């Protein structure tokens, strides 16, 4: 596509040279814009032409040097430059317009010669980019690849030290001391979580169970009530949807146990986590009972 556009630009430039018009094809859109909307700022031009700000700055400076465009300071905002066509710019646009129409006709003829409705395809592509940028689409595939690379494992006795280390690390990072209930659960998750009917999940890279990237526990409270607890992701691996995959796995596990409610307790400091919980369907509610931890300030639950 780039090679094709460059080839057509070169031929356009050749035509202008043959007609002895000192004009650069890349100027046309800005000339036309300033002809209909004089006295625009750089940001307004970038928005109208859908070009990056640095690209517009380079283009404008080039046209100012050629005395095609003039720049004055906005009397209402001394930091802003307002751009207009000079008399040379107006004359150049007048000379160029008929040739530009001929070039447009030639481009349309070229498209018809292909036998395809290229314009409709390009228009559809532009609309698709307006809905979701190319960069966002790339980020989506990066996230998908990362999601697929993460494996969720259920509790094994060998994983117990990682469960303690990951949780102690985040508690210390946020300035919390280990409370008696923390120490009890973290010291023996098999006895205090798994054997009473709960489980613990671990996130790792597929095929590498030696390094745990995150963890969460599901604690059974009876009568179809389960608690999502001890949810954390190692700092170097945050922002990779590991927490989302852990929570999703926990929700599916509770459903498999015929659970009716999954709740959690957290602190206001965990803003990103709270945002994720809401996205996963948890709702903030008043505490129905005394919190299990003194640091707990937020109670959330999800009905299943």
- The CATH classification number of 145-303 equals 3.40.630.30
Average pLDDT, the chain: 89
Sign, CA dihedral 201-204-206-211, equals negative
Angle, alpha carbons 137-142-144 (nearest 5°): 95
| Per-residue tokens: 93 | 């646009």
User: pTM higher than 0.85, yes or no?
Assistant: no
Tally the residues of the chain: 304
Ranges 86-100, 125-139, 151-165, most confident: 151-165
In DSSP terms, 8 is beta-bridged to none
CA distances from 14 to 21, 29, 95, 172 (A): 10, 18, 15, 68
Residues 134-173 have pLDDT tens digits of 788 887 877 777 778 889 999 999 999 999 999 999 898 8
222 backbone φψ class: left, alpha, beta (φ>0; ψ -120 to 50): left
Q: How far is CA 174 from the centre of its chain?
A: 26
- In the chain, residues under CATH classification 1.10.10.10 are 2-131
Number of Cβ within 10 Å of residue 273's Cβ equals 20
Cα separation, 214 vs 231, whole angstroms: 8
Q: Are 155 and 148 in contact (CB under 8 A)?
A: no
Location of structure tokens 């796995």: 249
Per-residue pLDDT, 196: 95
pLDDT in the model for residue 157: 93
CATH 1.10.10.10 fits 2-131, yes or no: yes
Domain with CATH 3.40.630.30 in the chain: 145-303
Beta strands 77-85 and 298-303 are: unpaired
Question: Is residue 129 scored above 90 in pLDDT?
Answer: no
Q: What is the pLDDT of residue 221?
A: 95
Overall average pLDDT of the 222-240 stretch: 92
């Amino acid at each position: 596509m780039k090679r094709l556009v460059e080839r057509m630009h070169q031929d356009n430039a050749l035509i202008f040279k043959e007609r002895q018009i000192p004009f650069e094809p890349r100027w046309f859109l800005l000339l036309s814009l300033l002809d209909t909307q004089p006295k625009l700022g750089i940001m307004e031009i970038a928005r109208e032409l859908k070009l990056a700000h640095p690209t517009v700055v380079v283009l404008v400076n080039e046209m100012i040097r050629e005395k095609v465009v003039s720049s004055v300071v906005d009397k209402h905002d001394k930091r802003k430059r307002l751009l207009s066509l000079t008399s040379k710019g107006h004359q150049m646009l007048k000379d160029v317009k008929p040739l530009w129409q001929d070039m447009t006709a030639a481009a349309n003829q070229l498209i018809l010669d292909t036998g395809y409705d290229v314009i409709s395809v390009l228009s559809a592509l532009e609309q698709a980019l307006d809905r979701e940028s190319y960069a966002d689409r790339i980020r989506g595939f990066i996230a998908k690849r990362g999601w697929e690379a993460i494996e969720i494992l259920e509790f094994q006795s060998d994983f117990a030290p990682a469960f303690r280390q990951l949780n102690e690390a985040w508690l210390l990072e946020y300035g919390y001391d280990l409370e008696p209930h923390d120490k009890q659960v973290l010291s023996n998750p098999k006895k205090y979580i798994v054997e009473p009917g709960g489980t613990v999940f671990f996130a790792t890279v597929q095929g590498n169970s030696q390094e745990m990237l995150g963890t969460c526990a599901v604690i059974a409270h009876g009568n179809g009530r389960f608690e999502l607890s001890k949810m954390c992701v190692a700092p170097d691996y945050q922002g990779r949807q590991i927490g989302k995959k852990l929570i999703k796995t926990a929700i599916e596990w509770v459903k498999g146990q015929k659970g009716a409610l999954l709740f959690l307790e957290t602190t206001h400091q965990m803003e990103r986590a709270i945002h994720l919980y809401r996205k996963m369907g948890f709702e903030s509610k008043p505490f129905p009972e005394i919190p299990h931890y003194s640091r707990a300030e937020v109670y959330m639950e999800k009905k299943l």
